[in-house]
């Protein structure tokens, strides 16, 4: 091989390595290998059981929450680690929790979710009645990805009846369909003098799964749609601005609603909302038995 041929090969290898480097550094990869657990001793008012809460390492957090007020403790658990491909993944479930309050049987529907941000704990019983108040969707992000990839397995109850209970004596039922959901919102945010958080929507990605999968689905691709999605094919009303009620902590330490005002595909991103959930119904509602497993989340 001549010196010129060796030089050409070296240049080609350098170019290929630079391409690989660019691709790897422009991607955001999230796995769920690292978990911690903690025991919460619930108050005798709620039966006095010891519950195990599972937490993922930052920047992810879960809807598992420890509520406390005036020395009274209660835990809600609907997210668990599970095995996948020789490692760990997230398992999100919808469960009916049955317990007693001072001897009176009560019920609650708990829907599991994971998101980028922070769960504020211990929450008060009042805050626990509105989960959005303790979910701080404040993940700083400045990139402009094109596709969200992830692996998933869905086990979806084929029912037309939704169960609803918020620490109540009876479980209510109404007609509807529930399915696992994925929500991604790319935003530019700013805070005004009164502490309100404003945003413009740069890009959106959303999916709902109403059917069970045949085992794990690898590399599911969900494209980001930049700009005003109302004019784009496949738009659903629930994807629009101010349809989610997401909140974030402002500079004063107060949790406030993120107020979206418009679409601007050319704005510089400041924050990313990314949420996986076992259901798509309002809080404390859903198909009991739904299970949504997620792993290997990647943004390109």
Residue with tokens 């989340």: 297
CATH code of residue 43 = 2.60.120
287 contacts 171 by C-beta, under 8 angstroms:
no
Decide if 136 is inside a domain: yes
Decide if 20 is inside a domain: no
Decide if 148 is inside a domain: yes
Tens of pLDDT, residues 14-44: 333 333 333 333 467 889 999 999 998 877 7
User: Could you tell me the pTM of the whole model?
Assistant: 0.87
Decide if 182 is inside a domain: yes
User: Residue 128's pLDDT band (boundaries 50, 70, 90)?
Assistant: low
The range of the structural domain enclosing residue 114 comes to: 30-299
Rounded distance between C-alpha atoms, residue 141 and residue 122, angstroms: 27
DSSP 8-state code for residue 123: B
Number of structural domains in the chain = 1
Decide if 242 is inside a domain: yes
Letter string b/e over residues 237-276, b meaning 16 or more CB atoms within 10 A of that residue's CB: eebbbeebebbbbbeeeebeebebeebbeebebbbbbbbb
125 contacts 74 by C-beta, under 8 angstroms:
yes
Quote the tokens at residue 261: 């005002």
User: Residue 69's pLDDT band (boundaries 50, 70, 90)?
Assistant: low
According to DSSP, the residues that pair with 258 across neighbouring strands are 197
| pLDDT reported for residue 123 | 63
| pLDDT reported for residue 5 | 47
Q: Any idea how long the chain is? A: 300
| pLDDT reported for residue 248 | 97
Tens of pLDDT, residues 141-186: 999 999 999 999 999 999 999 999 987 899 999 999 999 999 999 9
Tens of pLDDT, residues 74-106: 677 899 999 999 999 999 999 998 877 777 888
Contacts of 100 (CB under 8 A, 6+ apart): 46, 47, 106
Decide if 175 is inside a domain: yes
Instruction: Label the pairing between strands 104-111 and 217-223.
Output: unpaired
| Angle, alpha carbons 241-296-180 (nearest 5°) | 45
Decide if 3 is inside a domain: no
According to DSSP, the residues that pair with 99 across neighbouring strands are 106
Decide if 153 is inside a domain: yes
According to DSSP, the residues that pair with 80 across neighbouring strands are 91
């Amino acid at each position: 091989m001549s010196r010129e041929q060796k030089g050409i090969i070296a240049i080609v290898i350098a170019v290929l390595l630079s391409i690989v480097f660019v691709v790897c550094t422009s991607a955001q990869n999230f796995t769920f290998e690292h978990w911690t657990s903690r025991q919460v001793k619930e108050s005798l008012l709620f039966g006095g059981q010891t519950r195990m809460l599972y937490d993922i390492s930052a920047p992810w957090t879960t809807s598992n929450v420890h509520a406390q007020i005036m020395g009274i403790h209660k835990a809600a658990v609907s997210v668990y680690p599970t095995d996948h491909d020789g490692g760990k993944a997230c398992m999100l479930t919808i469960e009916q929790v049955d317990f007693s309050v001072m001897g009176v049987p009560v019920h609650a529907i708990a829907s599991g979710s994971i998101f980028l941000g922070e769960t504020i704990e211990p929450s008060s019983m009042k805050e626990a009645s509105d989960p959005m108040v303790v979910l701080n969707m404040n993940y700083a992000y400045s990139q402009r990805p094109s596709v969200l990839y992830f692996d998933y397995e869905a086990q979806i109850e084929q029912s037309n009846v939704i169960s609803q209970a918020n620490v109540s004596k009876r479980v209510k039922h109404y007609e509807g369909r529930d399915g696992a959901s994925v929500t991604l919102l790319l935003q530019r945010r700013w805070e005004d003098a009164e502490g309100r958080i404003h945003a413009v929507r740069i890009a959106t990605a959303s999916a709902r799964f109403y059917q069970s999968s045949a085992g794990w689905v690898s590399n599911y691709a969900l494209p980001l749609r930049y700009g005003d999605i109302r004019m784009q094919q496949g738009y659903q009303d629930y994807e629009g601005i101010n349809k989610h009620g997401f909140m974030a902590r402002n500079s004063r330490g107060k949790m406030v609603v993120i107020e979206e005002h418009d679409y601007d595909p050319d704005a510089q991103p400041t924050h990313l909302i990314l949420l996986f959930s076992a259901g798509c119904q309002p809080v404390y509602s859903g198909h009991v038995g739904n299970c949504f497993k997620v792993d290997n989340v990647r943004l390109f």
